[in-house]
């Protein structure tokens, strides 16, 4: 199941992140070409082939000293990294419940809203503050760790 695999991936990234873990946001999309995204890095092309383990790559780029720690990283349905450091321009979901007792923030809100964008199968975030949160169709799917 996609949600369970995504949760396991983000838990692994959080565990590998180390002391300088800056957090991570991911978008699992059926077709990244239709997403309302823009690259935050001019030296990176969306269509560039990315090799390596998604777990290792996401842990490496999620450190504060990485040029690619900002934005969302795009994953294919089989959780391969397709693009790094993308700005997601998701429309706001009116009436959406943002955060809870553990807090949230901009990355959490963007993941929540982004999960309702056509072509998005799921979104997820992991931070050292509130752990892992996974979203689908405009709602949080998994409880915090």
Is 123 a member of any domain?
yes
3-state secondary structure of 15: helix
Determine the pLDDT at residue 143: 67
Rounded CA separation 88/112 (Å) = 11
Label the pairing between strands 131-136 and 81-88.
Answer: unpaired
Is 64 a member of any domain?
yes
Residues 6+ apart with CB under 8 A from 46: 32, 37, 39, 74, 82, 83, 86
Domain CATH code at residue 91: 3.40.1700.10
Residues of the chain with pLDDT under 50: 45-49, 145
Please give, one letter per residue, the 3-state secondary structure of 38-90. EECCCCCCCCCCCCCCHHHHHHHHCECCCCCCCCEEEECCCCCEEEEEEEECC
pTM over the 0.85 mark: yes
Total number of domains in the chain: 1
* Residue 134 domain boundaries: 2-140
Whats the size of the chain, residue-wise? Answer: 145
Rounded CA separation 73/124 (Å) = 10
Determine the pLDDT at residue 101: 56
Is 145 a member of any domain?
no
pLDDT in tens, 78-113: 999 999 999 999 999 998 877 665 567 888 999 999
Is 12 a member of any domain?
yes
């Amino acid at each position: 199941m996609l949600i369970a695999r995504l949760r396991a991936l983000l838990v692994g990234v959080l565990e590998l992140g180390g002391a300088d873990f800056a957090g991570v946001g991911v978008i699992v999309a059926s077709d990244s070409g239709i997403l309302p995204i823009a690259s935050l890095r001019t030296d990176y092309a969306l269509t560039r082939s990315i090799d390596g383990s998604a777990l290792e790559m996401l842990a490496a780029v999620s450190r504060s000293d990485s040029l690619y720690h900002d934005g969302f990283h795009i994953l294919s349905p089989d959780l391969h990294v397709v693009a790094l450091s993308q700005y997601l321009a998701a429309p706001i979901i009116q009436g959406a419940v943002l955060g809870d007792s553990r807090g949230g923030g901009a990355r959490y809100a963007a993941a929540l809203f982004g999960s309702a964008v056509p072509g998005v199968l799921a979104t997820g975030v992991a931070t050292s503050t509130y752990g892992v949160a996974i979203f689908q169709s405009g709602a949080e799917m998994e409880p915090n760790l």
